[in-house]
Amino acid sequence: MIDLHTHTDQSDGSVSPTALVEQAVAMRLEALAVTDHDTLAGYDLAVPAAAEAGLELVCGIELSTRLDQKSDGPRLPSVHLLGYFPDRPPSPEFRMWLERQQESRRQRNRDLIAKLRSLGIKITLEEVQVLGRNLTGRPHFAKILLKKGYVSTIQEAFDRYLADHAQAAVEREEPRLVEGIRRIAEGGGLPSLAHPVRLPQEDRASLAALLRELIAAGLMGIEVYHSDHTIEAVEMYQSLAEEFDLIITGGSDFHGENKPAVSMGTGRGGNLNLSYDVLARMRTQFAACLAR
């Protein structure tokens, strides 16, 4: 069994990279990918622990991007893009680009603090960063709001203050989806569309139309297996992967205590069980893509 979609406390997970490796070894996973949001820090920290434990570790990342806005309507939701570097490390240029993206996130956090304080909420960036460590994001703000009694649940924190159209909403300059695809590919990686069930293109025809655009921009894969995917959804995404010759990826989207219903390797209620063949085929098809 393998898991190609996990998060550590270097982004919005609750488990340290070393502890993540230890859990994977205890579960007897054959391979593990660390795919933290917009950072490679979790993977970098997991490398020595995985080497010592003899666990095959795959370098990955999950970028937050946006679809191209087609009209002047409401801002489109964020779209997540997985990037895998199965054979060699990401290029230095890709790492430098990530650092510039993280500065955009840091500016958003400073603006978010100012907006929350204007609403009478006594909160500092420093106390949020204690939770956020390497990559402070809205989930860490939500935890502080809950801890200080401004909200009664994490969901309420997002609904009232943090979501895109909430009271304290601050837009972050995220790269366009096609740029994310290009950056991953130029960095030596395999771009794969994450958990397509969350896209606004819900039916097969509209998702197929989007895939045509993204494949033209360099998309190589699609996450067929995910904790949020029903059996019917898996069948649809698998058929789309076959139709468009896309590489199939999959994983639990494990976040530890921050998503307690999702378990590493086995997903939500045991709805995942990915064999090593998924990773082997991913590598073979990726090499074939590079050879074209």
Per-residue model confidence (pLDDT) at position 69: 57
Tokens (6 digits) for 254: 């494990």
The Cα 17–Cα 173 span in angstroms is: 28
Q: Residue 204 — very low, low, confident or very high, per pLDDT cuts 50/70/90? A: very high
| DSSP sequence for 158-212 | IIIIISTTSTT-----PPBHHHHHHHHHHTT-EEEE--GGGSS--SHHHHHHHHH
Crossing angle of helices 204-217 and 177-186, rounded to 10° = 40
The Cα 17–Cα 53 span in angstroms is: 13
- The average pLDDT across 221-250 equals 97
The Cα 77–Cα 81 span in angstroms is: 13
**What is the torsion angle, in degrees rounded to the nearest 10, for the CA atoms of residue 80, residue 85, residue 89 and residue 93?**
-40
- The average pLDDT across 4-11 equals 94
The Cα 70–Cα 73 span in angstroms is: 8
CB atoms inside a 10 Å sphere around CB 210: 19
Give the β-pairing of 190-193 and 78-85. Answer: antiparallel
C-alpha distance from residue 80 to each of 46, 64, 246, 253, 281 (Å):
22, 5, 17, 12, 22
- The average pLDDT across 262-266 equals 96
Tens digit of each residue's pLDDT (9 = 90 or more) over 68-98? 756 565 666 789 999 999 989 999 999 999 9
Per-residue model confidence (pLDDT) at position 258: 84
Model pTM score: 0.88
List, in order of start, the domains of the chain with CATH numbers.
2-90+191-291 (3.20.20.140)
Residue (of 258, 248, 252) closest to 280 by Cα position: 248
